[in-house]
């Protein structure tokens, strides 16, 4: 098996998905069986893994991606785009006879969205790719994984990593394998994903979030972050399981498109943890909140991510709840 020595320093390593977005904008989302007239269509670069990698790179992190693309024009274009974003693509492979993953996205004027993904070549990511990039797994500071690629490969990646790992359990699973929950340093989900993963009621209030945090810790998570959209984020740790922290976010003047906001948060969080590991978690999460808030005020997925830090040097508020 060929193994790359890859001596370039990497702060944030992403093992995950690369998907091309096909986005239609309309006044509202269609009901079942309904056809609507839209007012805008665009293609873009997406996939949770690549989104999070690009978000971290735009913050200033030295990043690398481990992923699979099809041998089609979409894959070739995406590979060039990752290079333009200063992402190390030594382990991004175009697979012969495979199609690049795609996402069909509908976005309402309110910013709400519906997304269907067909992962294509992403399904070929495996434990062999972990072995090929083992030097990166030994030296990178932060590993980021998601659920848009095979779960056994994701588990191999988490188990092989020697630094801080962030598992964004999205798309959420009704029965998430417990070994995945336990393997990551940080288990991060949004309110919908937290409810689905835990079987709890819909999370719309902080008290609901507390139940979700407690349940995920009981399920074996070491540290849990739940993002709550306009409410910011909450977190808890297994080291102090009865302490629940809320990190609010400022009011957003106008929500344009929420697509990719969670990925903007994860990428910024990974960057902050790589560069400012001595800061308290509420500061790292607060800064990531600001990047996500910036994202929802702009259209597109990666196109909405800021270049450079947002509100640099700000002291972020937090409170127990």
What is the bridge-based pairing of β-strands 233-237 and 223-227? antiparallel
CA distances (Å), 312 to each of 162, 203, 266, in order? 29, 30, 17
Residues 264/270, Cβ–Cβ less than 8 Å? no
CA-to-CA distance for 67 and 171, rounded, in angstroms?
17
Give the separation between CA 159 and CA 11, rounded to whole angstroms: 18
Q: How far apart are CA 44 and CA 155, in angstroms?
A: 29
Question: Which position among 21, 129, 257, 263 bears the catalytic label?
Answer: 263
Comparing CA positions, the residue from 234, 21, 6 lying closest to residue 148 is 21
Which of 267, 19, 275, 285 shows the shortest CA–CA distance to 143?
267
Contact between 225 and 185 under an 8 Å Cβ cutoff? The reply is no
E strands along 109-190, which residues? 113-118, 142-145, 164-168, 186-190
Q: Which residues of 212-243 are buried (b: 16+ CB within 10 A; e: fewer)?
A: bbbbbbeeebbbbbbbbbebbbbbbbeeeeee
Catalytic annotation on 263? yes
Q: Which residues are catalytic?
A: 263
């Amino acid at each position: 098996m060929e193994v790359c020595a890859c001596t370039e320093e990497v702060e944030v390593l992403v093992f995950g998905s690369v998907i091309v977005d096909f986005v239609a904008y309309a006044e509202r989302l269609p009901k079942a069986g309904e056809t609507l007239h839209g007012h805008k269509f665009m293609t873009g670069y997406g996939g949770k893994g690549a989104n999070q990698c690009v978000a971290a790179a735009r913050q200033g992190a030295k990043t690398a991606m481990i992923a699979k693309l099809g041998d089609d024009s979409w894959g070739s274009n995406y590979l060039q785009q990752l290079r333009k974003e200063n992402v190390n693509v030594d382990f991004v492979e175009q697979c012969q006879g495979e199609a690049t993953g795609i996402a069909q996205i509908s976005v309402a004027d309110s910013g709400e969205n519906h997304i269907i993904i067909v992962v294509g070549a992403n399904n070929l990511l495996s434990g062999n790719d972990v072995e090929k990039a083992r030097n990166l797994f030994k030296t990178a500071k932060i590993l980021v994984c998601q659920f848009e690629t095979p779960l056994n490969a994701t588990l191999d990646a988490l188990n092989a990593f020697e630094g801080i790992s962030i598992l964004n359990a999205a798309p959420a699973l009704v029965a998430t394998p417990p070994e995945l929950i336990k393997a990551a340093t940080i288990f991060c989900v949004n309110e919908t994903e937290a409810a689905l993963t835990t079987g709890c009621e819909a999370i719309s209030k902080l008290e609901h979030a507390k139940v979700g945090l407690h349940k995920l810790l009981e399920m074996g998570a070491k540290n849990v972050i739940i993002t709550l959209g306009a409410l910011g984020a909450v977190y808890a740790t297994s080291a102090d399981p009865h302490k629940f922290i809320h990190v609010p976010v400022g009011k957003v003047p106008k929500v344009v498109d929420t697509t990719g906001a969670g990925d903007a948060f994860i990428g910024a969080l990974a960057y902050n943890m790589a560069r400012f590991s001595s800061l308290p978690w509420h500061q790292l999460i607060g800064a990531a909140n600001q990047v996500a808030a910036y994202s929802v005020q702009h259209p597109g997925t990666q196109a909405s991510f800021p270049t450079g830090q947002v509100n640099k040097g700000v002291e972020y508020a937090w409170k127990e709840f």
